Amino acid sequence: MRAEGADDLEPNKLGPAGSGTVNLSIAIPDAKRVSLGRLEFSEIPGSIPCSVSNLPDPSRVQPLVSPSIFSRLRKVPPMPNPLAITQVDAFTDRPFAGNPAAVCVLPRPVDPSWMQSVANEMNLAETAFLVAEPDGGYGLRWFTPLVEVDLCGHATLASAHVLWESGLLPRSSVARFSTRSGLLTATLGEGGWISLDFPSLGTTTDGVPPVDAVALALGLASASGVVEARMSRFDLLVEVESAQLVRASRPDFGLLALIEVRGVIVTARADAEAMGADFVSRFFAPRTGVAEDPVTGSAHCVLGPYWGEKLGQTTLVGAQLSDRGGVVRVGLVGDRVHLGGQAVTVLRGELVGRAGAL
């Protein structure tokens, strides 16, 4: 590293605008970061210094740094320690039901390996990490205990709930999330119902594994109970003859993990026990570290269009028959799926010491 003119830059003794200039040049061949007094520069490949913390009035700093450099400086907030984390039960109106997700709002982007470690520690189906963006939206990433995933419904629902409940976002505002699956939004409605705007995911028969093997992996008595099997972008969907077969499924998770998909959805038309639902389902994802997901919002991006076509409906209700159980309202709007659910905060905690120090 080579810094020229650094000794002449005294952030606490800056003169008035126009009183002189300091020629500051910085070469950072391999370094990640270099601090000059209270000026902190971070390397971005192909760029010049891009961040600064604890600066005095920018109008007094600009004469000391060329405008092209100054325009690429921004405030870098410190990482709080302890760091707050919230656990929310999603797609339910009562605690200890639905699908639990942890939500952590970060003041700046962090190393994904740290996020993965936190998700592993939380040991929930998903842990969501949020970072505020200049346009008022939030960057959103989801991690299971083992991997980062491309789409997650319940942790998005939980994230929106936390933003509104904490006051970080007005309840009248739409929550906007930049994700691996593009822009997703959430809107708070009457009775605490949250509506998610997600992509519609179609299905195909291409790449479907042998039905006998699928039936065996799901713990079904025979393949005769399988109506059809179809592949979606992320998951394998298996329709069976009855809701009772969905309830009775006892998967062999070792065999399910051999199927090269994110997860396996088993589904059927609802029966009288699934009060008010149009279809029922369960979701198994051992390849991502989740044996059975309690309520899977993203699976309804597949289930909604699938059952909508079969039943001739554009509004449906899905009941997920896990031990915790949950309900997802589904609305089909062109190439989008609107997923409706409620959420309940059950725990607020802190990542302390080295766990929250980044």
Q: How far apart are CA 235 and CA 233, in angstroms?
A: 6
- Mean pLDDT to the nearest integer, 75-79: 52
**Averaged pLDDT score across all residues of the chain:** 84
Position 78 confidence tier, pLDDT thresholds 50, 70, 90: low
Q: What is the mean pLDDT of residues 297-312?
A: 98
pLDDT of residue 353: 79
**Using CA atoms, how far apart are residues 61 and 56, in angstroms rounded to an integer?**
7
- Please tell me the predicted confidence (pLDDT) of residue 16: 36
Check pLDDT > 50 for residue 18: no
Predicted local distance difference test score (pLDDT) of residue 77: 52
3-state SS, residue 210: coil
CA distances, 78 to each of 107, 220, 329, 339 (Å): 7, 53, 40, 36
Per-residue b or e along 132-166, where b marks 16 or more CB atoms closer than 10 Å to that residue's CB = beeeebbebbbbbbeebbebbbbbbbbbbbbbbee
Tokens 């325009």 appear where?
71
Average pLDDT over residues 141-156: 98
291 and 253 in contact (C-beta within 8 Å)? Answer: yes
For 156-169, what is each residue's pLDDT tens digit?
999 999 999 999 99
Question: pLDDT-derived band of residue 79, with 50, 70 and 90 as boundaries?
Answer: low
User: Is 241 designated active site?
Assistant: no
Between 14-18, 138-142, 152-156, 221-225, the lowest mean confidence (pLDDT) is in: 14-18
Cα(37)–Cα(237) distance, rounded to whole angstroms? Answer: 58
Q: For residue 226, count other CB atoms closer than 10 A to its CB.
A: 19
* pLDDT tens-digit readout, 91-133: 999 999 999 999 999 999 999 999 999 999 999 999 999 999 9
Distance (Å, rounded) from C-alpha 172 to C-alpha 100? 25
Domains and CATH numbers, the chain: 2-70 (no CATH), 83-185+344-356 (3.10.310.10), 211-333 (3.10.310.10)
The whole-number pLDDT of residue 97 equals: 96
Residue ranges with strand state E in 214-258: 226-231, 235-240
Position 358 confidence tier, pLDDT thresholds 50, 70, 90: low
- Maximum Cα–Cα distance across the chain: 86
Q: Pick the residue with more confidence: 287 or 76? A: 287
Residue 62 pLDDT exceeds 80: no
Give the DSSP per-residue string, 99-149: EEEEEEEESS---HHHHHHHHHHHTSSEEEEEEE-TTS-EEEEEE-SS-EE
pLDDT of residue 56: 41
CA-closest candidate to residue 270, choices 239, 243, 295, 306: 243
More confident residue, 196 or 82: 196
Percent of the chain whose predicted confidence (pLDDT) is above 90: 74
Q: Is the CB of residue 349 less than 8 Å from the CB of residue 358?
A: no
pLDDT: is 49 or 357 the higher one? Answer: 357
Q: What is the CA radius of gyration of the chain?
A: 25
Phi and psi angles of residue 39, each rounded to the nearest 5 degrees, phi first: -90, 125
Supply φ then ψ for residue 178, to 5 degrees.
-90, 120
- Marked catalytic residue, from 126, 165, 260, 309: 126
